[in-house]
Chain A
């Protein structure tokens, strides 16, 4: 019996000829990631293990992105704990303010992760790197601590759902709409404990940014990982970028899938997820009149240059509705700089939006745009749980950058066709 991509990558890292779903394995990890919320807990646990230092100083990534620039004294102390640990153990992938960005934007961008890798991170959106053909999944702080000490972790090999893609996206429709559509179809536990594997002839029509968004939100369907077959688009992105040699792994022709779902990309429309679960999706024409108080464009989901290019296209020469606060958050310093060089920042500022330094900020209700009781935000982020962006009686709706930008102008949730 053949293996899926996930099974093959896990087998290779476990030193086994093959693995099958349900099997418990110990696998070597290529990168272990943590942030300013999860790493302090991991560091406390790491120090209990009794090893002199980490398993490999180049295979750990520490990113202060959630409550940074430090929002209060307690957050500053957490960031300090991580900074001191990085110095003590000479962690090469520590990203200080000025070089940092949102973890899942900078790790692919800086070539820290690549095809064929096994990556674990104490952040649920670590699944993002599946876009590059890696096995990548979120874990907790204790798992991170153990992996920092011994360079391996345990996994239960997941079953795999195969998503067979055909067709081409309609103009203005993006990877965000595809993944919201899929989550709407299968539900927030539709892929619980399972792997989501994407391939098929439609793959060539998805950019690397589309794929990063789709892998990023695999966790929103309960999945362990979301992984894409490697093609020319992937190779073009990773070649000359990844710092370690990479391995292209594809699924066997006779791989065993628990389910195959066919998706014709050309049938997908702009999607909006209503509160309070990402599965509450509607096509843009079925949204109705939903006035908004705040728009957030950014995050590990949609904080890449293509997202700001798409937003700038809509906002150019237009004004933000006076009832709406618009917060743009480039996902990395590189994205910020490119957005400046291309004139997007000027477009945003002229339109009446603000541009923030890279941070997770309001996405998880941290800082930089918290909602009051009864307020409603439309965001390109990934979760719309109760209280996610502030008061437990506030609301978050999820969408792509073009919908967010168009809605910012109109003051209610709307598609870009209403403004362009």
Chain B
């Protein structure tokens, strides 16, 4: 899968309360959640993004609550990938489980600016900053996580396993 899109840049410790505030957690409808994505951090987020855009952030992205509604909201809003210096661990698991592509880029995340255009090839593990003409080799996911991802998320993976045991 090749992604090619514009960057919206945020800082460190973006928490799940600003990604999707609790006042919207009385629904699990992705479309409804997507409408309120990031609204307490950036009130114009939904208006300004285009489908396929990429979020780039600092350290500890997705910290706080375990609400899976956070990656669901980001995915439903049309964001194709989140790139960060580091991710909070529950958000990391949740993103893999629901099939939201995430990339832990370390210190290099700071080199990317708002408005840059990135090309990302997840299979080849390549991230190219088209605007700055810089290329980054990504750390591959561990094989077990690749299995979950290639099955299409954790539920599909468990479903296959349950069916093969039956």
Contacts and interface: CB of A to CB of B under 8 A. Distances in A.
Contacts of A66: 22, 25
A51 B144 CA distance: 23
A219 B26 CA distance: 23
Contacts of A277: 13
A224 interface: yes
B66 A38 contact: yes
Contact of A386 (B18, B22, B72, B90): B18
Nearest to A142: B97
Nearest to A26: B144
A385 B158 CA distance: 35
Contacts of A149: 158, 162
Nearest to B156: A48
B112 to A, nearest CB: 20
B41 interface: yes
A364 interface: yes
A51 B166 CA distance: 10
Contact of A189 (B26, B60, B72, B161): B60
B49 to A, nearest CB: 19
Contact of B27 (A51, A74, A124, A139): A74
Contacts of A140: 66-68, 90, 93-94, 97-98
Contacts of A67: 25-26
23 contacts: A24-B144, A37-B22, A37-B69, A40-B28, A51-B162, A66-B22, A75-B26, A122-B66, A124-B64, A140-B94, A140-B98, A142-B94, A143-B93, A145-B154, A145-B155, A149-B158, A154-B144, A188-B63, A189-B59, A277-B13, A365-B17, A386-B41, A388-B17
A23 to B, nearest CB: 10
A44 B154 contact: no
A142 B144 contact: no
A294 B43 CA distance: 26
A12 interface: no
B159 to A, nearest CB: 5
Interface of B: 13, 15, 17-18, 21-23, 25-28, 40-41, 59-60, 63-69, 72, 86, 88-90, 93-94, 97-98, 142, 144-145, 153-155, 158-159, 161-163
Q: Which 5 A-B pairs have the closest CB atoms?
A: A140-B94, A74-B26, A142-B97, A140-B68, A189-B60
Contacts of B142: 24, 156
A45 interface: yes
B33 to A, nearest CB: 10
B159 A192 contact: no
Contacts of A365: 17, 21-23
B159 A50 contact: yes
Contacts of A150: 158, 161-162
A291 interface: no
A263 interface: no
A271 to B, nearest CB: 19
Given A38-B66, A38-B68, A138-B66, A392 B40 contact: yes
A231 to B, nearest CB: 28
A66 to B, nearest CB: 8
A163 interface: no
A123 B94 CA distance: 12
Contact of A139 (B22, B64, B66, B72): B66
Contact of B17 (A51, A139, A387): A387
Contacts of A121: 66
B18, B23, B65, B144: residue with the most chain A Cβ atoms closer than 10 Å = B65
Interface string A262-298: 0000000000000001000000000000000000000
Given A66-B25, A364-B22, 15 more contacts: A38-B66, A41-B68, A50-B159, A51-B162, A142-B153, A146-B158, A149-B158, A189-B60, A189-B86, A385-B17, A386-B15, A386-B17, A387-B18, A388-B17, A388-B22
B69 A124 contact: no
Interface string A348-383: 000000000000000011100000000000000001
A48 B159 contact: yes
A188 B66 contact: no
Contacts of B88: 189, 192, 222
Nearest to A383: B64
Interface string A141-182: 111011001100010100000000000000000000000000
A126 B163 CA distance: 30
Most buried by A among B27, B144, B154, B158: B158
B157 to A, nearest CB: 8
Given A154-B144, A222-B89, A142 B26 contact: no
Contact of B13 (A123, A145, A156, A188): A188
Contacts of B90: 124, 138-140, 219
Contacts of B15: 383, 385-386
